[in-house]
Structure 1
Amino acid sequence: MKSYLHHSRSPRIYFYRDKEKRGIDLLIEENGTLYPVEIKKSAAVHTMKFRGFSMIENLDTPIGHGGVICFVNTWILLSDHVDAIPVGYL
């Protein structure tokens, strides 16, 4: 948010929760595309209960590449559309 405000832009950042109570921590809207982000307190990305961002696939808005911010040591490709991002990169 600070980066957006520093550049005199209004941040378009949301939280998502559906009727089944599945949620996404952050949805960042940029140029009409939503970029989903989850935040996890783990480095074990292969064992965490991350099910992806399939719950937003039916939205009328394009979905961009997503990320899971967590305690991994290096950037890891989790799928074709989702990366594990080290919290230290922030």
Structure 2
Amino acid sequence: MNHLLMMILKYKKIKNNTNMYMMFINVPIFITSLAIGLFLAYITMPPTQVIYVYPNPENEHKISFKDKADNCFHFKSTEVTCPDDASKIRYYNIQ
């Protein structure tokens, strides 16, 4: 009970809000627990998945692409005839 009374008296004497909060927080324990929490969040994060989006006539106006040089561009589709040689045709999996 005496400890609680002393904390209340200290609380009333403190004028600066920063010092008031520092009275209730142990800084080394806070920094250590924050570092451990960030590390655990980092190692338990699910792996990222890369999704490849191929432009088609239905979505060409909705998708903007950005290259490594930060240049943005769009695709414009043009219908062409298929080549006679089947080895020149490239097939893509359905998305």
Q: TM-score, normalised by structure 1?
A: 0.21
Q: TM-score, normalised by structure 2?
A: 0.20
The structure carrying a bigger strand percent of its residues is 1
The structure carrying a bigger helix percent of its residues is 2
